[in-house]
Structure 1
Amino acid sequence: MPLTNVELRNLKPGSRAYKRADERGLYIEVRPGGSKLWRLKYRHAGKEKRLALGVYPEVGLAEARRKRDEARQQIRDGVDPSAERQREKLTAQFSAANTFGEIAKEYIDKMVADGRAVATTSKANWLLEQLAPISRRPIAELTPVDVLAALKRVEARGKHETARRCRSFASRVFRYAAATGRGENDPTAILRGALVAPKVTHHSAIIEPEAFGELLRSIDAYSGNAITRLAMQISPHVMTRPGELRRAEWSEVNVEKAVWTIPPERMKMRRPHAIPLSRQVLDYFAELHSLTGPKGLMFPAFHTSRRPMSENTINQAFRRMGYGTGEITAHGLRTTASTLLNESGKW
């Protein structure tokens, strides 16, 4: 017999959950705590399944029967109502995360999953912080003017290069939103000429051969920390970025083959980089090995072997040697190498 409203109101909880059937698979389950839950029992693809249709009395008898009929129509159409409900729930959750900030965080999570370097993802999070004025806005509603206003706030602080990087990051987020169905275009595309072009600042470097020779002799005579001296001696030979040298590990060096291979996660272009080692560098490595080997970081910090040498250590050593900030920096050694090698006519 079908259920009636009077019967539903009079159903009392017991020591165990029990069921009372209506029609065509619909029933109500009464829990010991007193809650009354509508359920639909059905079969799909040969399997018996259950579908929750709501809680009585919020969902009355007539509405429960309507939901049952809709679900049975889906089954006749070959659709599993439970699977369809889960799909709709996931779609709703996905669509709800539609602000610029939420989608940007999702994009950064993807960068992490793709194996991007920690420094890269940290910089992305920092750029997102600079774009706070648009973070809470639905991404589909943002116009070029909205984005430009946020970028101009950064630019007003004199951070022209930061503003340019923010525009580039925002562009990637907008394109990701479009690819995932939550945006239609990239409003930053027309802003390329709207920002002040940042002035290119070159790393201070010595590019005269005689002056560079004097620098090398000064490094050899450096009386400070031996690990710092060795870092300065090795750097002009291997021509790496300062961060690549500071984070070098002994496991990356093959002395027998005279090769140092930097793994892709530490390289800007995300590709492994093999550096042939001269006999001079091998001699430096042998001395360094006696100080920091045989495993772990080659150039650890002064206070702990678990962290690499500070990025300012070499620059501070140059200052103690009498070289000013406008004369030489650790990164400037790459400029020195590039200039002198190109001017030699051999490369």
Structure 2
Amino acid sequence: MPKRITPLSDTQVRNAKPKEKEHKLMDGYGLFLLVTPTGGKLWRLDYRFDGKRKTLALGTYPAVSLSDARKRRDEAKALLANDIDPSDANKAKKASRLEAGANSFEVVAREWHTKFAPTWSPSHAVWVLRRLEQYVFPDIGTRPIAELKAPDVLKVLRRIEAVALETAHRVKFVLGQVFRYAVGSGRAERDPTADLKGLLPPRSQKHHAAITDPKEVAGLLRAIDGFNGTFTVKSALQLAPLVFLRPGELRQAEWTEFDLEAGEWNVPIERMKLKLRVKEDRKGEKHLVPLSAQAVAILKDLHGLTGQSRYVFPSARSFARPMSNMALNAALNRMGFKGEMTAHGFRALARTILDEVLQCRIDLVEHQLGHAVRDPNGRAYNRTAHLPERRKMMQTWADYLDGLKAGAKVIPLKRSEG
């Protein structure tokens, strides 16, 4: 009769000590703990298949506990009962995992990006990869691309939508291209983004003329500095690209909202477009705009002229009311930018270049634009969220614009649909 083996206890396994040579602690039914001279504890299973003695590795202690090792032993015994070699089954399982990893969404997406990036502008190539890394890979990057369905992709897009709807639409387009590449290379059956038509809110249909190419922006900024109209309008035009608020929020600015020493402009939330969605308990809050050194300089110069008025940019006819809502657009038209640039277009100018050229974080840009931005838990960011990062972004942006005006070499902005 075979020798009866007393099963191991957790204490025996935990306290097993190394010796000069490898030694075994038997648990029964072929399972044993191999203790190495260096202190390693390895689970092994001795078995016979086709008349040959074999040993199967079951993992390392303590990552694999005694109870887990016994479960793995029993699974291997079940395979043997069905005339399957557990070693061959493990090899097949490992090969399957390797194949799945080689065809994961991230692997295929990076392969697609490497193949097509040389045909795009550098800024577009960077934008595409950064958005994949920021929004997509953390959620579905490790999953086999062939297994991904429409709900998986929609979940990713919903998270982006909470930050920036336009970005969600653009990432959806990128995802469609990756899936179609996978279909063409035999690693997926179809493009699930085709099933998502109409599930994202539509893009805004209202478009404001805007110059977004850095080379053309340089000319616009120089034209503003050379504007020969009123000093108030000129100052508003100079400040507009530095703060990129809506024209109404800019022209109705009041001196009491500014702390020039701290470099801050606190815009009452009720005055913003966001006010339509403001709940009663949020009234009285402010939208904090960090001011760059250049913005502070413009305001200090203007204070000598309009500081006695309630409004930073008062009407030319009366200090008692703000500048006309047509003043800035009229000035841009007179400078020759009719049909090319509007006062509202400074927002698109800033958003496009900050995102696609300077590669700033899109949630910081959206927050500074005054859009409703939510944290990963779905809560709206408060007015001071990411303030140090936003201060740095606003100063970097102002310095970048100064560089454009001075004729610094710029990368032209070219969009490609890949």
**TM-score with structure 2 length normalisation?**
0.35
The structure whose RCO (Cα within 8 Å, separation 6+) is larger is 2
**TM-score with structure 1 length normalisation?**
0.42
